[in-house]
Amino acid sequence: MKKITLPLTDDVIKDLHAGDSVLLTGTVITGRDAAHKRLYELLQKGEPLPVNIEGEVIYYVGPAPAKPGHAVGPAGPTSSYRMDKYTPALLDRGLKGMIGKGARNEAVIESMKKNGVVYFAAIGGAAALISRSIKKSELLAYEDLGTEAIYRFTVEDFPAIVVIDSYGNSVLVK
């Protein structure tokens, strides 16, 4: 089990290999379908993004509401392939890591190799367990999207697996 501190550096990314189990500590940003669509459209139009994504790790998640006393509600990963259409543009803009679940398309994997990016999986459906490693949640953008808004999560020993590394190697069964 590798302990990784965020933000990711290029050296750390080069040292991560498909199949590695990791514990992530630091901060990540969140975003899923609706937020990706908006970020992508801004990039297409050449307009500024509401969040600086350079060097960030994005977690594909739409949490359930937090019970009183909890930093966040259950917050497991959502399927990554739905973000594939938007992902290469975000990686070109400097995004360094992604956390989701399931497969990615060829265009994403090529862009990951080109930009030196790593894709982690969290365990789909282990939402209550995962939320214990999320210590803080702050709204960053798109409040109107509710659960789909962009948040900054502070995570401590967040469990993930490198499923596609920056060399394009994958441990997902084809």
Partner 1 sequence: MNVRTIKAADITQAVKAVFMDLNYHIGSDILNALQTAQQQETSPIAQNVLAQLLENHRIASEEEVPICQDTGMAVLFVEYGEQVVIGDGHFEEAIQEGVRQAYQEGYLRKSVVDDPVFDRVNTKDNTPALIYTDIVPGDKIRILAGCKGFGSENMSAIKMLTPSAGLEGVKQFIMDTVRYAGPNPCPPIVVGVGIGGTFEKAAMMAKKATLRPINTRHADERYAALEDELLTMINATGYGPAGLGGQTTALGVNIETAPTHIAGMPVAVNICCHAARHKTIEI
Binding residues for partner 1 (CB under 8 A): 19, 21, 34, 61-67, 70, 73-76, 78-79, 81, 101-103, 121, 123-132, 146-147, 159, 161, 163, 171-174
- Residue 55 C-beta: closest distance to partner 1, Å: 26
Pick between residue 114 and residue 172 the one whose CB is nearest to partner 1.
Answer: 172
Which of residues 21 and 44 has its CB atom nearest to partner 1 in the complex? 21
Q: Which is nearer to partner 1, 89 or 171 (CB)?
A: 171
Joined together, the tokens standing for residue 83 give 């973000």
CB of 94 to partner 1, least distance (A): 27
CB of 26 to partner 1, least distance (A): 21
Spatial contact of 26 and 134, defined as CB atoms under 8 Å apart = no
Q: Which is nearer to partner 1, 80 or 166 (CB)?
A: 80
Q: Dihedrals φ, ψ of 153, to 5°? A: -100, 135
Q: How far is the CB of 135 from partner 1 (least distance, A)?
A: 16
Rounded to whole angstroms, the Cα distance separating 13 from 16 reads 5
Residue 86 to residues 35, 58, 108, 119, 155: CA-CA distances in angstroms?
Answer: 10, 13, 9, 15, 25
Tokens for 138, please give them.
């702050």
Q: Which residue matches tokens 């307009």?
A: 47
